[in-house]
Structure 1
Amino acid sequence: MEKEEDYKEWCNKFDRTSQSLKIMYKLKKMRENNEMCDFIIKTSDGKEFHVHKLVIHASIPYFNSFNQFYTHENEDKNTVTLDMLSPKAVELIINYIYEGRIDYFRDNILEIMYAADYLQMEPLRSEAIRELFNFEDKEMLFNDKIMTVIEFSIEKNEKAQKFYGKYFCEFSEKESFCLLSIKSLISILDKDYLDVPNEEFVYDSAMKWIYFDYENRKQFIIDIISILRIAFLDYSLIFDKLLTESTVINNDGTRKKIYEYLRICLEGSSKSEYIKNYSPERDNYQLTCITLDNSYSDSVVSVNMKKFVQQSRVWKTCLFELFHKTDHVTGIKYNNKIYFVQCDENEYYGHGVILDMDNQTTRRKTFTSNPRSGRAIAQFEDKIFTIGGIDMEGKNNSVECYNFRDNKVTSLAPIPNGIVNATSVVYGNHIYIIGGQTSQPLRTIKRYFILANSWEELDQMSYPRYKASAIVYKKQIFVIGGKNYNGILNNCEVYDIETRRWSSIPNMPYKRAGASLSIRQNFLHVVSGHGEASGQTMQYDLLQSKWYEGPALEDLSVMHIAV
């Protein structure tokens, strides 16, 4: 036997000593020295592992019935060939039995999981599944075959629920999604962090799951409706979709829940009151703002990411970070990073700052070849386009593209006649440059075809404006506020991309220029900017064409960017 020092050194790896551990250590060394080994496990490539029969039988439930492990060709009851498992997996399992631990890597974790499943080693299988989610490998975790092994664990595995919640839009399109049990499905759908565009998507995905095996799953419609955030469904969808679905209306429980919600609404309770008491928001339904506070110090700006929680009616800080002071910025979100790009005159206005929301880090970055004041900025796929703005030589027609992948800046076709202080949106393969000014405010809208590197001019707006705000919603461009000869504006226009026609919508309650826009749950949110009551957010109901006052911002001394 080995020296006591060797045993202590081995035990220290596990931070404890015990009689049973000492016995296992001795058995481990006996196997290494082939002492008293009375059982042989062979692999498909002929490799042999000499082990102790009692240890193997005690550790692997699959071996409890010894007679099943020999064939007519092999009458030796003390030898078994595990040709269903890879040689690598067999070796890892045997080492695990004698060592009490196993190292997981991307290239071995599936073999360990399949081997543990085949050998009925439940604790090891559960451990391997938990480790599998640490890799967040969609190719593996969306796989049908893998799902049949891991599905049972999702209900109690928070990492699994967070993974499928994070990538739910992709996951719901895979056949593996339809292999979930009702308990696993509910454990994913009922989370606030479920990343979906709207509650209709949740409902549609759940119905897809039901219709995959309709006769056996239709009974679970009550479970689906019970976790659906019904207050975040449009009334039209409730009447036209839910109440025309036979699976829903033929179930007494689901009808009762829907009618109860509608009754509360008809009695005069606001949707926000219902949300407060019965139906909390999902995290990505919440209005999210990035705040930049220049008052922190002379050289540092503090950045906070805040969410407005409808249920409690308060702003909740989710992230706080500091970086070098940066004024007059536009925020662009890409791959969960916020790119702050400076727009106005400043010593460093060719620069920007990248805020990594996942890692909570920042770094300064140059997005253009030369500084330009009053640029329009747009993001398309993995590129940032900077359009117009006055450079040091007085030119205002430059167009450049910064590529996230190679960190290079490329010059493109200049914008005709130049532009300063325009606003921009991206739709399809086009960038729309709206309003702006040269010697005077403009009514123009110009479209840049990204693939062809060319420009065209479209029909003009009703009002000239610069420093307006714009956002795309269902093939329409909403242009909000801005400035012109009369000062700050509260009028708004909508451009239909398909018909190429302009129309008006009701004026905002307050005049606003340079505001930040965001769309959540069929509401257009107007945040911050300059003008009347700049601390008051405004909400435009895109379905009812009405304006409402939204939650007030907490600190008017900071800049807010909706994301």
Structure 2
Amino acid sequence: MDLIGNQVEDHQSFLYKHEQLFADSFPLFKEIRRLGKLCDVILKVEEQTFAAHRVVLAATIPYFYAMFTNNMAESRIKEITMKEIEPRALESLINYVYSGHVLIDNHNVQGLMVGASFLQLSDVRDACAGFLISRFHPHNVLGIRSFADSMSCRQLIVAADQYIDQNFAKISQSEEFLALQCEHLLDLIHRDELNVRTEEVIFEGCMRWVKYAEEKRSKLFPQVLAAVRLPLLSPQFLADRVAREELIRSSHQCRDLLDEAKDFHLMPERRGLLQSFRTRQRCRELFTGQIYAVGGLASTGESVSTVEIYDPIAKKWNMGEQMSMMRSRVGVAVLDGKLYAFGGFNGTERLSTVEVYDPRKNKWSQGCAMLCKRSAVGVAALDDSIYVCGGYDGVTSLNTVEVYYPKTNTWKTMMKYRSAGGVTQLNGYVYALGGHDGLSIFDSVERYDQNEDVWVKMSPMLNRRCRLGVATLNGKIYVCGGYCGNSFLRSVECYDPLTDTWKLVTPMNCKRSRVALAANMGKLWAIGGYDGESNLSTVEVYDPEIDKWTFMPPMCAHSGGVGAGVIRFE
């Protein structure tokens, strides 16, 4: 019967959709299975059996879809024997496809992940990987990394490697580390990405490993020591610790490695001939930490004592504990997990005072004041000291360098430098770049050798720059922005110490002088600055792998003039 009638032309139609149909149906499938009704297949693992419906398994599990729809023998038989999965895991995964949820815990995660991988349930496999990542600890991550490798789970492998890189010092104290096979130990300590305070951590870890089973491992020790970057150890440590170790003294191969390290320090002019992976700095810049934007300017242009902290994981700025003094154009360095703020301008005068932030106590304290008042100062930490270079005292551009020793809270002065330049450290040297003397802006670069106590000229930058940002990343030096005397810059240059050459990379999105540049997570973070018209709160990040700058969340309480330092996550 035509209710509308043939006389009425109506080309419209109505689509009825039951939004809850599927959500309502699957609980019923589960109940039908619980009652044992309409089940047409039995899965057997060891001595346990599980009844299910072929159509449900095929619709939800790729492994069974392939089995039941491709005319395989199993598509016709009632009972199928499974061999690559634990009974408990199979039961949980069958329940999962009927219910949409599965409980993952410390006891079942490994079996579940193996089962999910076998059945091609990628969502469950990834959930298991995420669960393991959330449970990383220095005492279990090596075992998880080995498991991830056996599963070819890229997500878990990458996350485990990153955790190992950031926490090697603690991991090297674990039972898992001591139980490593030699080839696995060598793979680990060869990594450029290990983030250790000094190479001493690697050496001591290897000594613990060999002495854990000395009778069996002593013959392997020369090849283990060959993977340690002995030239990166300090001369004092080489003499007082390494040279006195009996396992080294009794091995001709080990003594040769020690001699190579000594030559590296005794004959710096021949270091170019001694280049190998053992002389290459590990990429400490790849660690993940919080970026501290210290001091700087308010939107009104006034100097502030404010501190903002950027969490690169949450991608969010938060307010930190403020300093006791207002400071813009302040020098900042991080050493041994503490952040140091040197000098700056408080709106009235240049400062010589120093403040030290301890993140464990969330507290600033006073350090020993510098010998000179300084703003627009370049700062770099190297070994156990901090170099504070040049700057402006309110009257003249300074050509002195002060070296601060936190352990003794003392200073010493040396001559040489310029104002508003950049300073960084690389491969055991302090580099001073650009700046001005009150009349001329420089493109020059000098390198300080603390063993010889000399400054050496290196290849100049491609552009003259003062008020530039400088940071070290992946064994190279990057400089960005600044002022050349005619214009404010957004160009970026990269220096390769092996060839002593500079090249241009992709410029920043914004012109930035007085920019703070920090290395974190294998990337460069350009923070704040001045574009010639206004102070900047914006932040952009450079990824060297794709040669691209991307904007990140801006600072909340600063408008340029900040100093920046990175304190790694513990």
Measured against aligned partners, the alpha-carbon deviations of 1:37-64 in whole angstroms (never above 9, x if no partner) come to: xxxxxxxxxxxxxxxxx99x95561225
Contact 1:412 1:453 in 2 (8 A): yes
How far, CA to CA, are the matches of 1:397 and 1:409 in structure 2?
16
- Quick one: distance in 2 between partners of 1:158 and 1:386? 41
Partner of 1:113: 109
Distance 2:426 2:24 in 1: 58
Q: Structure 1 residue 411 and structure 2 residue 357: aligned? A: no
**1:389 maps to which of 344, 349, 357:** 344
- Conserved in 2, the CA contact under 8 Å of 1:60 and 1:120? no
Tell me the percent identity: 15
Q: Alpha carbons of 1:497 and 1:367: their partners in 2 closer, same or farther (altered >3 Å)?
A: farther
Partner of 2:34: 25
Q: Report whether the alignment pairs 1:63 with 2:63.
A: no
Q: Distance in 1 between matches of 2:117 and 2:330?
A: 62
Q: Is the 8 A contact 2:491 2:504 kept in 1?
A: yes
Matches within 5 A, 1:327-366: 335-343=288-296, 346-366=301-321
Partner of 2:446: 493
Q: Shift of residue 178 of structure 1?
A: 7.1
Q: In 2, Cα distance between the equivalents of 1:121 and 1:482?
A: 58
> Mean Cα displacement is larger for which, 13-22 or 440-449?
13-22
What secondary structure, in the 3-state scheme, does the structure 2 residue paired with 1:540 have?
strand
Aligned-partner residue type, residue 46 of structure 2: Y
Q: Is the 8 A contact 1:61 1:121 kept in 2?
A: no
Alpha-carbon distance, 1:195 to partner: 6.3
Secondary structure of 2:313's counterpart equals: coil
Native 8 Å contact 1:472 1:478 kept in 2: yes
Equivalent residue, structure 2, for 1:274: none
Q: Residues 167-225 of structure 1: CA distance to partner in whole angstroms, max 9, x if unpaired?
A: 464689868997999xxx9xxx9xxxx9689xxxxxxxxxxxxxxxxxxxxxxxxxxxx
Which of 138, 149, 153 is equivalent to 1:151?
Answer: 149
C-alpha separation in 1, matches of 2:26 and 2:147? 35
Alignment of 1:28-107 (within 5 A): 58=42, 61-63=45-47, 101-104=101-104
Secondary structure of the corresponding residue to residue 166 of structure 1? helix
> Are 1:429 and 2:384 matched, yes or no?
yes
Matched with 2:404 is 448
Pairwise CA distance, 1:103: 1.9
Measured against aligned partners, the alpha-carbon deviations of 1:534-561 in whole angstroms (never above 9, x if no partner) come to 2332333312223333333444379865
One-letter code of the match for 1:111? Answer: H
Does the Cα contact within 8 Å between 1:375 and 1:387 map onto a contact in 2?
Answer: yes
Offset, 1:110: 3.1
* Cα deviations by residue, 1:46-87 (Å, 9 ceiling, x for unpaired): xxxxxxxx99x955612259xxxxxxxxxxxxxxxxxxxxxx
**Distance change in 2, residues 1:14/1:361 (3 Å):** same
How many residues are paired up? Answer: 353
Q: Would the aligned equivalents of 1:442 and 1:466 in 2 still touch at CA under 8 Å?
A: yes
Residue 490 (structure 1) shift = 1.9
Q: Where in structure 2 are the equivalents of 1:174-213 lying within 5 Å?
A: none
Which residue in the other structure is 2:129 paired with? Answer: 130
Q: Which amino acid aligns with 2:131?
A: L
Q: Which SS does the other structure have where 2:35 is aligned? A: helix
Letter in 1 for 2:420: K
2:66 corresponds in structure 1 to none
CA distance in 2, matches of 1:355, 1:396: 26
In the alignment, the residues of structure 1 paired with residue 295 and residue 287 of structure 2 have an alpha-carbon distance, to the nearest angstrom, of: 17
How many angstroms does 1:381 deviate by?
A: 4.0
Question: Secondary structure of the residue that 1:110 maps to in structure 2?
Answer: coil
Match of 1:549, SS state, is strand
- Where does structure 1 lack aligned partners over 5 or more consecutive residues? 1-10, 29-53, 66-88, 198-283, 289-332
Distance 1:127 1:398, change over 3 A: closer
Aligned to 2:550: none
1:526 aligns with 479
Deviation beyond 6 Å, 4+ runs, structure 1:
11-14, 89-99, 117-121, 170-173, 175-181, 194-197
Report the Cα distance in structure 2 between the residues aligned to 1:473 and 1:560, rounded to whole angstroms.
Answer: 20
How many Å separate the matches in 2 of 1:25 and 1:398?
75
Name 1:296's counterpart in structure 2.
Answer: none
3-state DSSP class of the match of 2:302?
coil
Label 1:371 to 1:24 Cα distance change in 2 as closer, same or farther (>3 A).
same
Aligned mates of 2:95, 2:422 — CA distance in 1: 66
CA distance in 2, matches of 1:560, 1:375: 11
**Is 2:444–2:460's contact at 8 Å kept on the other side of the alignment?**
yes
Tell me how far 1:369 sits from its aligned partner: 0.7
| AA at the equivalent of 2:502 | W
Partner Cα separation in structure 2 for residue 543 and residue 121 of structure 1: 45
Query: Partner of 1:484: helix, strand, or coil?
Result: coil
Secondary structure of the 2:46 match is helix
The one-letter code sitting in structure 2 at the alignment partner of 1:538 is E
Deviation of the 1:528 alpha carbon: 0.4
1:160 alignment partner in structure 2: 156
**For the residues of structure 2 that align with 1:180 and 1:476, how far apart are their CA atoms?**
33
Report if aligned partners of 1:143, 1:176 keep a CA contact under 8 Å in 2.
Answer: no
Deviation at 1:453, TM superposition (A): 1.8
C-alpha distance in structure 2 between counterparts of 1:127 and 1:423, whole Å: 46
Maintained 8 Å contact 2:295/2:327: no
Contact 1:151 1:180 in 2 (8 A): no
CA distance in 2, matches of 1:397, 1:18: 72
Distance 1:17 1:118, change over 3 A: closer
Shift, 1:141, TM fit: 5.5
Q: Which residue of 1 aligns with 2:436?
A: 483
1:512 CA drift (Å): 0.5
Letter in 2 for 1:426: A
Alignment of 1:253-332 (within 5 A): none
Deviations 1:353-392 (A, max 9, x none): 3222221212233531120344222122432211123446
TM-score (norm 1): 0.52
TM-superposed CA distance for 1:426, in Å, is 0.6
| Structure 2 counterpart SS, 1:487 | coil
Structure with larger RCO (C-alpha < 8 A, sep 6+): 2
After superposition, residues 454-473 of structure 1 pair within 5 angstroms as 454-457=410-413, 459-461=414-416, 464-473=417-426
2:548 corresponds to 1:539:
no
Question: What is the distance in 1 between the residues matched to 2:355 and 2:498?
Answer: 37
Residue 367 of structure 1 aligns to a residue whose secondary structure is: coil
CA distance in 2, matches of 1:414, 1:430: 15
Deviations 1:292-343 (A, max 9, x none): xxxxxxxxxxxxxxxxxxxxxxxxxxxxxxxxxxxxxxxxx98443322234
- Gap change, CA 1:139 and 1:12, over 3 Å in 2: farther
Displacement of 1:446 in angstroms is 1.3
Q: Does residue 470 of structure 2 align to residue 517 of structure 1?
A: yes
